[in-house]
């Protein structure tokens, strides 16, 4: 990649997304950032501009086609190209067994976690083909390990893993991977500890409290480096894969420019 890369990043207002935006800014990556909370997103953008990179924001719900269209238009208008898209926006709720499924709550989850990436990919793919660009879907271990009461989240992320495989065969000019970030110290983990009690099976709930109490949550900055490395440098032959944060192949990408 000779040109300064242009990255579209969703869910950039806090957590792993905010850390990834700042990591990218420090590397001079030009950014188009998205989230619903415009105040927090503007703060992240200001911090990124502080290290000298160009940043634009698109405030809106990623589950809406209009937000996807605005993200792509903003990148093309200001930067003229798109090299990478990171689909990081995600929500965990509803935390409830399938037997108590609420249609609106499941639909809201799938809209953010799965339909959102589909819509943004549809809008960005013509431009990613031109740059032989990269797509990273931020997934989770729960996409392959069934966690009782996380049905909406787990199925959305399992869908995202398969969307990754579909794109790998439909779009040979674009490299698409899914990423498992591990257990990261963000609001999402706090929500599990706050809302999981008495709903998640006690052993599952205790596992997540233990991660926290034993200081085993990973700092977002550490995982952001790996996520960004994939978005900028994932190898074409990895297209379709579900790649974990502790995959040794990631280390070789981290120091690439
Ligand atoms: N933390 C973990 O341990 C962990 C583990 C495995 C996977 N993950 C995945 O990592 C990604 C980031 O999670 P996180 O832990 O950083 O969570 P987080 O702290 O809750 O942040 C989620 C981000 O997504 C944005 N978002 C949520 N719904 C959105 C929507 N409809 N449209 C646009 N943006 C939206 C939020 O911003 P607004 O509220 O401002 O919209 C926020 O910036 C998620 O995909 C999550 O599934 C996290």
- Separation of CA 203 and ligand 1 centre (Å): 24
Q: Which residues line ligand 1 (CB under 6 A)?
A: 10-17, 34-37, 40, 61-63, 88-91, 112, 138, 140, 181, 183-184, 186-189
Q: CA-CA distance, 255 to 210, in Å (whole number)?
A: 33
Q: Is position 212 annotated as part of the catalytic site?
A: no
89-144 pLDDT, tens digit each: 999 999 999 999 999 999 999 999 999 999 999 999 999 999 999 999 999 999 99
pLDDT for 3 equals 81
Alpha-carbon Rg for the chain in angstroms: 17
Beta strands in the chain (DSSP E): 6-9, 30-35, 55-59, 84-87, 134-138, 175-180, 242-244
- Separation of CA 67 and ligand 1 centre (Å): 16
pLDDT for 104 equals 98
- Domain edges within the chain: 6-182+221-245
Q: CA-CA distance, 127 to 124, in Å (whole number)?
A: 6
Q: 6-182+221-245 maps to which CATH number?
A: 3.40.50.720
Residues above pLDDT 70, as percent of the chain: 99
Q: Is the pLDDT of residue 1 over 50?
A: no
Residues above pLDDT 90, as percent of the chain: 96
pLDDT for 256 equals 82
Q: Is position 211 annotated as part of the catalytic site?
A: no
Q: Is the pTM of this model over 0.75?
A: yes
The mean pLDDT of 68-92, rounded to a whole number, is: 98
Query: Ligand 1, closest atom to CA 142?
Result: 6
Q: Look at residues 90, 120, 129 and name the one whose alpha carbon lies nearest to residue 8.
A: 120
179-194 pLDDT, tens digit each: 999 999 999 999 999 9
Q: Is position 205 annotated as part of the catalytic site?
A: no
* Region for 182 from its dihedrals, namely left if φ exceeds 0, alpha if ψ lies in -120 to 50, beta otherwise: left
The catalytic position among 13, 84, 154, 157 is 157
158-187 pLDDT, tens digit each: 999 999 999 999 999 999 999 999 999 999
The per-residue pLDDT of the chain, averaged, comes to 97
pLDDT for 2 equals 59
pLDDT for 68 equals 98
47-67 pLDDT, tens digit each: 999 999 999 999 999 999 999
């Amino acid at each position: 990649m000779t040109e300064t890369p242009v990255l579209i990043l969703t869910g950039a207002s806090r957590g792993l997304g905010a850390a990834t935006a700042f990591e990218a800014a420090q590397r001079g990556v030009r950014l188009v950032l998205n989230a619903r909370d415009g105040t927090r997103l503007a703060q992240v953008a200001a911090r990124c501009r502080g290290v000298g990179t160009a940043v634009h924001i698109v405030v809106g719900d990623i589950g809406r086609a209009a937000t996807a269209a605005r993200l792509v238009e903003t990148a093309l208008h200001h930067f003229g190209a798109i090299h990478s898209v990171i689909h990081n926006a995600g929500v965990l709720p509803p935390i409830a067994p399938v037997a108590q499924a609420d249609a609106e709550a499941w639909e809201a989850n799938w809209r953010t976690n799965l339909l959102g990436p589909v819509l943004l990919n549809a809008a960005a793919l013509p431009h990613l083909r031109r740059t032989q660009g990269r797509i990273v879907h931020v997934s989770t271990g729960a996409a392959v390990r069934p966690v009782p009461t996380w049905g909406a989240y787990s199925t959305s992320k399992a869908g995202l893993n398969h969307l990754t495989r579909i794109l790998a065969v439909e779009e040979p000019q674009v490299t698409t991977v899914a990423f498992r970030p591990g257990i990261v110290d963000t609001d999402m983990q706090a929500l599990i500890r706050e809302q999981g009690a008495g709903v998640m099976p006690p052993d599952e709930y205790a596992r997540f409290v233990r991660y926290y109490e034993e200081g085993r949550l990973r700092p977002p900055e550490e995982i952001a480096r790996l996520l960004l490395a994939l978005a900028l440098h994932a190898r074409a032959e990895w297209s379709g894969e579900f790649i974990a944060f502790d995959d040794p192949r990631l280390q070789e990408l981290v120091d690439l420019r």
